[in-house]
A and B are shown apart, each in its own frame.
Chain A
Amino acid sequence: MYVAVKGGEKAIRNAHRLLARTRRGDTSLPEVSVAQIQAQMSLAVARVMDEGALYDTELAALALKQAAGDQVEAIFLLRAYRATLPRFCASVPLETETMRVGRRVSAIYKDLPGGQRLGATFDYSHRLLDFSLLAAGETPEKDDFSVHSAENPAEEPVMPMPCPHVLNLLTEEGLVKTEETLANPAEAEIPDITREPLAFPSSRATRLQILARGDEGFLLAMAYSTQRGYGRNHPFAGEIRVGAVDVWLEAEETGFPVPAGEIDLTECEMVNQFVGSPDIAPQFTRGYGLVFGSAERKAMAMALVDRALRADEYNEEIASPAQQEEFVLAHCDNVEAAGFTSHLKLPHYVDFQSELGLIRKLRAEYARKHSARANATMDNQPLQVTP
């Protein structure tokens, strides 16, 4: 129970001022701009967009600046802003096969159509602090990496080719189950957790929506637990791709899909160990991860947890946390989790008064029983005299 507490307005006003001062830091240093965060902290921006469930790099960068870099706070800010916007329409399902691939790797085939691209990755970096970045105001050394197409304007532009998914190689052979599609997807009800409350058992569409906005740390830990044996399902990273995908919107008034621009996505397809039955030959199973921006760790964790949560579908024993949808789905949202944890800071004065009353009563009873027992013990035993 919470009670209204009056007073403290002045202290709150001053706390806001102090927060603004703390956020700004040392004023002898230049202030960081939203555009700088957007351009130079792109992975932090991606996480805020993902878990804030709203793709807008500028707003995510603004939220990070306002939150002084606190990611969960920034995610909360973006979610709150999201709630103020009207929804115009939905998109045509994103075709990740047409992605302009900046990075694409597969751990199951060495040579594959379209090839493997490392892209911008930390994978091959020594985890040593690079002190050259500490040198203030210095631009990175000029290298010959940039491709100067402007130097030769007559040159034909090199356009990326659509890149078929690696898992197609397996589905063509029947080694992995083809993902089910609906006969008429436009008429199907696609569950939306922002409109209807979560109910169990959940559909895979619901789970994927929740996982896509779920906390990266939580999902990573859940994914890791499956690898360590809590719901083991032997995953392989079938394919990871990062790049830009066109967005086509189902605009109401035009009557045809309207191109609106492009967004960056990371997609991960996991191939997991087989299932089979007397009627169906053994097949690999799969887990899927799709997230905004460049967020490979999150996409992989999502794919692993997606697969673990399909345990029921494959008649697997549900014995581990990562396989339990109520546990995972109800606890992976960091805005909800942070909110409920933070509420402990609200005044609980009356609650605590009743707890105090109760514990005093219990202690009094204990003392009375204890002294009665002590008296009884003393009555039954002869006095011992210590020498």
Chain B
Amino acid sequence: MNTRTHPDTETLEVKARQRWMYALAHAKLSELEVFEPALKAAAWQLIRPPETGMAMLRGRMGATGASFNLGEMTVTRCVVRNHENRTGYSYIAGRGKKHAELAALADAHLQGERQAFWLGEMIESLTAQRHARVSQQEKEAARTQVDFFTLARGENDA
């Protein structure tokens, strides 16, 4: 197995690509489908049709220690080529073939001439929608935050 680096130590180009892949993977299918006509406007082809398999999830002993195999998750992957001859990849949690196909197509377009357009039109919108969802959950969870206090038992009182 090749040595991989942690997300924090990648080059700027890779980091940028990981950022849009993140937005695409965390989007809901319905949010991504809004862009389907635009994504498929020009000719494109499937290099590897969407395929469902598994990824072994690894945990760390005591959260910080050596890795162990926790269990698997379903994952769907896809490879496409767009009209600019760019190759787009996707790995999406779950069995959503359409999600994997659209994400791979978006990845191809995002590497091309109109990167700024796709970042502005699509990735920003997907990111904003996800932030709204996460923010909603965060606010609701934050409302269950507790302030514990210990009652003085009065033993030292006069």
Q: Which residues of B contact A117 (CB under 8 A)?
A: 141-142, 144-146
CB–CB B91/A258 < 8 A: yes
Q: Which residues of A contact B52 (CB under 8 A)?
A: 85
Q: Which residues of B contact A191 (CB under 8 A)?
A: 68-69
Q: Which residues of B contact A160 (CB under 8 A)?
A: 134, 138, 141
Q: B116 contacts the other chain (Cβ, under 8 Å)?
A: no
Q: Which residues of A contact B146 (CB under 8 A)?
A: 115-118
CB–CB A213/B134 < 8 A: no
Q: Which residues of A contact B144 (CB under 8 A)?
A: 103, 117-119
Task: Give the contacts of A83-123 with B (CB-CB under 8 A).
Answer: 85-94, 96-97, 100-103, 110-111, 115-119
Known A-B contacts A179-B64, A260-B92, A290-B59; A85 and B54 likewise in contact (beta carbons under 8 Å): yes
Q: B98 contacts the other chain (Cβ, under 8 Å)?
A: no
Task: Give the contacts of B44-69 with A (CB-CB under 8 A).
Answer: 52-69
Chain A: CB-nearest residue to B52: A85
Q: A149 contacts the other chain (Cβ, under 8 Å)?
A: yes
Q: A360 contacts the other chain (Cβ, under 8 Å)?
A: no
Instruction: Give the segment of B32-40, B71-79, B117-125 that binds chain A.
Output: B71-79
Known A-B contacts A59-B74, A259-B22; A209 and B3 likewise in contact (beta carbons under 8 Å): no
CA distance A260 to B62 in the complex (A): 24
Q: Which residues of A contact B154 (CB under 8 A)?
A: none
Task: Give the contacts of B127-144 with A (CB-CB under 8 A).
Answer: 131-132, 134-144
Binary interface profile of B, 85-102, with partner A (CB < 8 Å = 1, else 0)? 000010111110000000
Number of interface residues of B (CB under 8 A): 66
CB–CB B67/A188 < 8 A: yes
- Which of B4, B21, B145, B150 has the most chain A CB within a 10 Å cutoff? B4
Q: Which residues of B contact A290 (CB under 8 A)?
A: 59, 70
CB–CB A269/B75 < 8 A: no
Chain A: CB-nearest residue to B13: A256
CB–CB A251/B89 < 8 A: yes
Q: Which residues of A contact B132 (CB under 8 A)?
A: 149-150, 157
CA distance A90 to B67 in the complex (A): 11
- Which of B18, B58, B93 meets A93, CB within 8 Å? B58
CB–CB B55/A116 < 8 A: no
CA distance A246 to B144 in the complex (A): 23
CB–CB A249/B74 < 8 A: no
Known A-B contacts A159-B135, A212-B70; A87 and B56 likewise in contact (beta carbons under 8 Å): yes
Q: Which residues of B contact A357 (CB under 8 A)?
A: none
CB–CB B131/A159 < 8 A: yes
Number of interface residues of A (CB under 8 A): 90
CA distance A180 to B64 in the complex (A): 8
CB–CB A188/B139 < 8 A: no
The minimal Cβ–Cβ distance linking B89 to chain A, given in whole angstroms, is: 6
Q: Which residues of A contact B71 (CB under 8 A)?
A: 49-50, 53-55, 209, 212-213, 292
Chain B: CB-nearest residue to A267: B63
Q: Which residues of B contact A96 (CB under 8 A)?
A: 59-60, 63
Known A-B contacts A257-B4, A259-B21, A260-B92; A179 and B62 likewise in contact (beta carbons under 8 Å): yes
The minimal Cβ–Cβ distance linking A35 to chain B, given in whole angstroms, is: 14
CB–CB A192/B66 < 8 A: no
CB–CB A184/B64 < 8 A: no
Q: A165 contacts the other chain (Cβ, under 8 Å)?
A: yes
CA distance A246 to B22 in the complex (A): 9
Q: Which residues of B contact A248 (CB under 8 A)?
A: 7
CB–CB B6/A92 < 8 A: yes
Q: Which residues of B contact A187 (CB under 8 A)?
A: 1, 3
Chain B: CB-nearest residue to A243: B141
CB–CB B73/A54 < 8 A: yes
Known A-B contacts A93-B67, A187-B1, A212-B71; A256 and B14 likewise in contact (beta carbons under 8 Å): yes
Task: Give the contacts of A245-292 with B (CB-CB under 8 A).
Answer: 246-251, 253-263, 267, 269, 286, 288, 290, 292
- Which of A116, A181, A255 meets B148, CB within 8 Å? A116
CA distance A190 to B140 in the complex (A): 38
- Which of B68, B77, B139, B140 has the most chain A CB within a 10 Å cutoff? B68
- Given A117-B146, A159-B134, A194-B69, 18 more A-B residue pairs with CB atoms under 8 Å apart are A54-B74, A59-B95, A88-B55, A89-B91, A91-B58, A100-B137, A147-B143, A178-B64, A179-B60, A181-B65, A212-B59, A249-B91, A257-B10, A258-B89, A259-B18, A260-B93, A262-B93, A269-B62
A–B complex contacts, Cβ < 8 Å, 16 sampled: A87-B55, A91-B57, A91-B58, A94-B58, A96-B59, A157-B131, A186-B1, A191-B68, A209-B68, A212-B70, A251-B77, A256-B10, A257-B6, A257-B7, A259-B22, A259-B26
Task: Point out residues on A near B: beta carbons under 8 Å.
Answer: 49-50, 53-56, 58-59, 82, 85-94, 96-97, 100-103, 110-111, 115-119, 145-147, 149-150, 157-160, 165, 167-168, 178-182, 184-188, 190-194, 204-206, 208-209, 212-213, 243, 246-251, 253-263, 267, 269, 286, 288, 290, 292
Instruction: Give 4 nearest A-B pairs by CB, closest first.
Output: A179-B65, A261-B93, A157-B135, A55-B73
